[in-house]
Structure 1
Amino acid sequence: MNTLAPRASMLDALAPLKAWWPIVLGLLVLYVPTYWMLAHGLWNTDDYAHGPIVLVVTLYLIWQQRAVFMREASLLPTSLETVVGWALLVFGLLTYAVGRSQDILLLEVGSQIPVILGALLVTLGVSAARALWFALFFLLFMVPLPGFVVDAATGPLKQYISVIAEQVLYAAGYPIARNGVVLTVGQYQLLVADACSGLHSMFSLSAMGLLYLYLMQHTSTVRNLIIIAAILPIAFAANIVRVMVLILVTYHMGDEAGQGFLHGFAGIMLFVIGLLFLFLLDWILGFILPDRLRNRAQA
């Protein structure tokens, strides 16, 4: 009898969640086929390999705030919240329908945000949406980048990376020259391709950087803003390091080494270097802009 009591109390505590099964089932019917398609397509590419991580983290963040779904039924949303919620829900469903029927992943995947936000406003109101704001925001990093954004950003990024890599390595004494985005080092020629622009790496590193800030909960607004502003420059700098390492590997070990296993390792290295730079910046800012309120509370 004693062993059953804790289980019974736990089930009683989770009982309010039963009312959400119809909504959860509806979301599963809509988006499980989408996730299945992503898992067998886009998520298998290097550019969007972070997609499953974003999904798992989002589910974890929602589970952390599960108390939101257990609020009393008497606390109903206002009429304005209901109207806005239905508008978002209808807009999200229409966006999903267009994206699904026309095979536009940008719309199909992106529709999750207005659909979930609309359902929250209709059922629980703005307080629930406020509690889950970061989980909804984090879903943005699952949405594929629009083609026009990729096309507009890739060219300039490749150019900047080529120029900086050439200047740094030339200053270090290496026999390197550049023609556009083609680098000649010794007897080898290397093309800074679209994949080397680092655009998608910036996207995924931004996701991890913002998640890090959310979990750290720094009380210093200035510290948070500095780190947010530094995420993209850090990702850009890490990508330059990756390209220079590939150039050096090719120069010292040959073209096969540069284009083989070490090329794949360099992608992982970019992500690790970016995160290390981010942690280092946060550590330094901790001395300049400490979390004073938190320290006082602990004292």
Structure 2
Amino acid sequence: MSTLATRAPAIDPLGPLKTWWPILLGLLVLYVPTYWMLAHGLWNSEEQAHGPIVLIVALFLIWQQRAVFVDEAVTPTRVEAATGWALLIVGLLAYALGRSQDILLFEVGSQIPVILGVLLITLGWRTARALWFALFFLLFMIPLPGFVVDAATGPLKQYISVIAEQVLYAAGYPIARSGVTLTVGQYQLLVADACSGLHSMFSLTAMGLLYLYLMQRTSIARNLIIMAAILPMAFLANVVRVMVLILVTYHLGDEAGQGFLHGFAGIMLFIVGLLFLFLLDALLGFVFPDRPRVKAKA
């Protein structure tokens, strides 16, 4: 008596592409011109240099979850589809307004409701939840509104100037302050808007949240403490950056402070901020160790 072996149905590797190519084409038509404009404009500035990194990371996170796009068992409900259509329409209207009126806040920000709406229409909430962090991370591509920058820059510059003056004066340096102008030796330095650290704090917050997401800590208290400490650590890292620039100017001259070392100090800001984050995470590990994960049964 012979038995017939049942063959598994062949999987078409181009199946997902055949289903999703109209959606991908539509997204490319909408946002490639936006990315092109950003790459030749805003992303070239020091304040928004993290933009392409955010985009690449978000695309990588979506690629990691690519299996959700081929789950044929998922069928969105009417509520999910209706919510998706509402989000898609809102996103397209925001894109049209931002594109026509040159409002980057709307043009760049519209990609989140557009993508989320498409996911809800086609695959439902379960897929949207699987991609939640990638969509959330796209928020850091959106340029900060002008009123937020204006409201935060002044106080940040004032605090940084005071702290830098106090620390360096205690270290024995001949430094004095008038508002946000610091005089050290024969040099006078103005803590400009770029030195407020607002945009650096914004980008370091993105890196900190990405670090938490990738590490997948099981301790809620540990995650909350690190989240609460990200902004203060970013501020402290920027204070260190400003003090280094002051010391470089004092010891090596104004050209060194405003030249290559000024740009290098921006890189150092990220390194110092990330080192603070890693150190805090390591210390909290002794108090809030990770619990073993419970693996789901097959």
Answer whether TM exceeds 0.5 for this pair: yes
Secondary structure, aligned partner of 1:12: coil
Mapped partners of 2:209, 2:115: distance in 1: 21
Deviation at 1:27, TM superposition (A): 0.2
1:58 corresponds to = 58
Structure 2 match to 1:240? 239
Residue in structure 1 matched with residue 88 of structure 2 by the alignment? 89
Identity percentage of aligned residues: 81
Give the aligned CA root-mean-square deviation in angstroms.
1.4
TM-score by length of 2: 0.94
Instruction: Write the distance in 1 (CA, Å) between the matches of 2:14 and 2:159.
Output: 54
Q: CA deviation at 1:79?
A: 1.0
Q: Counterpart in 1 of 2:199?
A: 200
Distance apart, 1:14 and its partner CA: 5.0
Give the letter aligned to residue 179 of structure 2. Answer: G
Alpha-carbon distance in 2 for matches of 1:17, 1:130: 22
TM-superposed deviation, 1:134: 0.2
Which consecutive residues of structure 1, in runs of 5 or more, have no partner in the other structure? 1-7
User: Following TM superposition, by how much is the alpha carbon of 1:71 offset from its aligned partner in structure 2, in angstroms?
Assistant: 1.1
| Alpha carbons 1:91, 1:114 under 8 Å: kept | yes
Distance in 1 separating the partners of 2:101 and 2:257? 40
Q: What's the counterpart of residue 160 of structure 2? A: 161
Counterpart position of 1:31: 31
Runs of 4+ in 1 over 3 A off after TM superposition: none
Residues 17, 69 of structure 1: 8 Å contact kept: no
Cα separation, 1, equivalents of 2:18 and 2:212: 33
Amino acid at match of 1:42: L
Q: Supply the distance in 2 between the matched residues of 1:261 and 1:32 (Cα, whole angstroms).
A: 33
**Contact 1:120–1:129 (Cα < 8 Å) also in 2:** yes
Q: Give the 3-state SS of the residue equivalent to 1:293 in structure 2.
A: coil
Gaps of 5+ in 2: 1-8
CA contact (8 A) 1:209 1:231 kept: yes
**1:287 and 2:267 matched:** no
- Indicate the residue corresponding to 1:22 in structure 2: 22
The DSSP-based 3-state class of the residue aligned with 1:165 is helix
Write the letter of the residue equivalent to 2:129: R
Deviation at 1:287, TM superposition (A): 1.2
Corresponding residue pairs, total = 287
Question: What per-residue deviation string (whole Å, max 9, x for no partner) do you get for residues 210-263 of structure 1?
Answer: 111100000001111111111000000000000000111111111111111111
Counterparts of 1:102 and 1:13, CA distance in 2: 42
Counterpart in 2 of 1:113? 112
Q: Which has the higher helix share?
A: 1
Aligned to 2:172: 173
TM-score by length of 1: 0.93
Residue 13 of structure 1 and its aligned partner are, at CA, apart by: 4.6
